[in-house]
Structure 1
């Protein structure tokens, strides 16, 4: 855990975070004062161990209207935001906004967006790109997005009481929408609060979310852009559903799922999840397999470990530490379960 200093963002829900060149940017969200369109960043590559937040106020251009539960693509040092739920004034209404409710006295409207806004991190400039063609997705919130090459993908989300399972793509160079991508064969069911993670040049990994029947999901799917088809993964833990979680790709193709909830947050919340789920989406490299083998058998190889090349020795020592800790946890767990069995008997 690191101490954070500077202009700390207020406690929000539904904010959108993304990293560019070692800086974490946080935009939007909702708190007891309403919806936000503030943008903050913190440099995660600091060398002195101090992490200092800064609110970006000296920007050029016009930021998006206040909103939460939006998504973000990172492309060419730009943060490109899509959709979300929020509020607009009467003179800000447009075809990119699906009205849900209104407060007529102040002429404030709440609803879902399908507009696109970009922030250039080099010039500190907001701009709204001109969409040059195609059919945009329906306005939505609690959807997910991912980037493959120069294409930004959108899957699912919610509008009114409807959740969706449609897939769309925006060319981030030409600003042309693909329209709904009709996939062949079986495909994931409708959902919101899920994640979509690029795992190869042509593949996306979809996990979890909340279904149209308000059931937390634990299914995983891989979409191939090349074949335009979905494949459901088997052998996933059915007892580990997740929604409103985060996901990122590891260095060897692992998708790491952290946080979120295992409950339908609208009706039940027994606490957020603090365990880390790791899904291996491709075979490990030969180097990784060798390091794990050494780490697991360190006691047998003790006299030979320091004969290894200096270049890989630090990686070997890390693996030994990891597997020693893992074995210790397993022993403690077995000891605890054994004691519980004795007590029951």
Structure 2
């Protein structure tokens, strides 16, 4: 079902889903802007980027295909990519899908026979994976008037409603268990973060972290932590200068005690290219210089590869709500931790392959 060609490359896109499994970056969905229209990318293909070879492959998909969408929340669990929510031509959805990434079939399955109550339709949410379950948080979506029971968990967007349907931001926590095919909404304790969307999240151990996002008409860069065993929220108050408030950024766990933040859209609607490390031991932010300072990105994806490299793909380098261009399809690599000696040697040999061509066959098979 897959085709391979050295000239192939995934199309430019924003609001897509991406995961890393094995040595591959898997990309699905998203959209591009054409004039005043949002054009959603094909739903019957997954693009695979070989992180070792640096080559793209288009993989055709089958089965119960999800609609073409952007803003879906994706993750990897036991070799399956799961996507929930998103927004397509028919508006926002609360459908749930999975696809096996390593059986060669790429057959989608719609997860529609589940016990418990699914979250309401939404997009621009995030998730954590913990103990074989997927924990979804936040997002922007719609509810019927009778479903809005607590203004602390769902803030109505005053500019968007239709009859008794209201759009807004939420801070709800919903858990999906693939083993039991069930949903539940745990009762959380502590200081709950404000309802938000287009935020970023990461997991370290049994802790889920939320950073920034859009809260009503503003953007922030606050950090909150949810203990995924006790369901207790706490806010982390940094002891240093904070990055600018933002949405449509990414954050990744790059060690047992540090998070890497990149890009996003600032409070004044400016695409950003700054990178920051947050140290959870000292609660301090440190801005880092990197080789991609001239490549701002928003509504991109970021996945952690080997040696804590962060692989950023796609997104936009312009404010996508105003312009009909600016979508990207390049992969940016951020080194967040010192490389081992063997990694440095292998990278050096690989970057001078012609010089070492006659000697490469002498290397152990694993290195070769």
Equivalent residues in 2 for 1:1-345 (5 A)? Answer: 1-46=58-103, 49-95=104-150, 96-101=153-158, 103=161, 105=163, 107-131=164-188, 133-178=189-234, 180-309=235-364, 311-312=365-366, 315-316=367-368
2:32 match: none
TM norm structure 1: 0.86
Could you say what secondary structure the match of 2:97 adopts?
strand
**RMSD between superposed Cα atoms in Å:** 1.5
Structure 2 Cα separation of the partners of residues 295 and 104 of structure 1: 58
CA deviations over 1:230-268 (Å, ceiling 9, x no partner): 000024433200000000111112111101111111111
Q: Following TM superposition, by how much is the alpha carbon of 1:308 offset from its aligned partner in structure 2, in angstroms?
A: 2.9
Residues 38/283 of structure 1: CA separation in 2 closer, same or farther (3 Å cut)? same
CA deviations over 1:180-213 (Å, ceiling 9, x no partner): 3110111111000000000000000000000000
Structure 2 Cα separation of the partners of residues 278 and 122 of structure 1: 35
Structure 1 Cα separation of the partners of residues 131 and 341 of structure 2: 33
Residues 297/234 of structure 1: CA separation in 2 closer, same or farther (3 Å cut)? closer
Structure 2 Cα separation of the partners of residues 67 and 301 of structure 1: 53
Please identify which structure carries the higher strand content: 2
2:275/2:290 contact within 8 Å kept: no
Larger relative contact order (Cα-Cα within 8 Å, sequence gap ≥ 6): 2
Q: Following TM superposition, by how much is the alpha carbon of 1:13 offset from its aligned partner in structure 2, in angstroms?
A: 1.8
2:72/2:125 contact within 8 Å kept: yes
Question: Mind listing any 5+ residue stretches in structure 1 that lack a counterpart?
Answer: 317-345
CA deviations over 1:83-115 (Å, ceiling 9, x no partner): 11111112211221101146463x111111011
Q: Following TM superposition, by how much is the alpha carbon of 1:276 offset from its aligned partner in structure 2, in angstroms?
A: 0.9
Residues 196/300 of structure 1: CA separation in 2 closer, same or farther (3 Å cut)? closer
- The number of residues matched between the two structures is 308
Could you say what secondary structure the match of 2:198 adopts?
coil
Question: Mind listing any 5+ residue stretches in structure 2 that lack a counterpart?
Answer: 1-57
Rg comparison, structure with higher value? 1
CA deviations over 1:270-296 (Å, ceiling 9, x no partner): 141111111111121121122223334
Q: Following TM superposition, by how much is the alpha carbon of 1:160 offset from its aligned partner in structure 2, in angstroms?
A: 2.3
Deviates more, 1:300-309 or 1:25-34: 300-309
TM norm structure 2: 0.81
CA deviations over 1:140-190 (Å, ceiling 9, x no partner): 110010001101000101122211111100000000001x31101111110
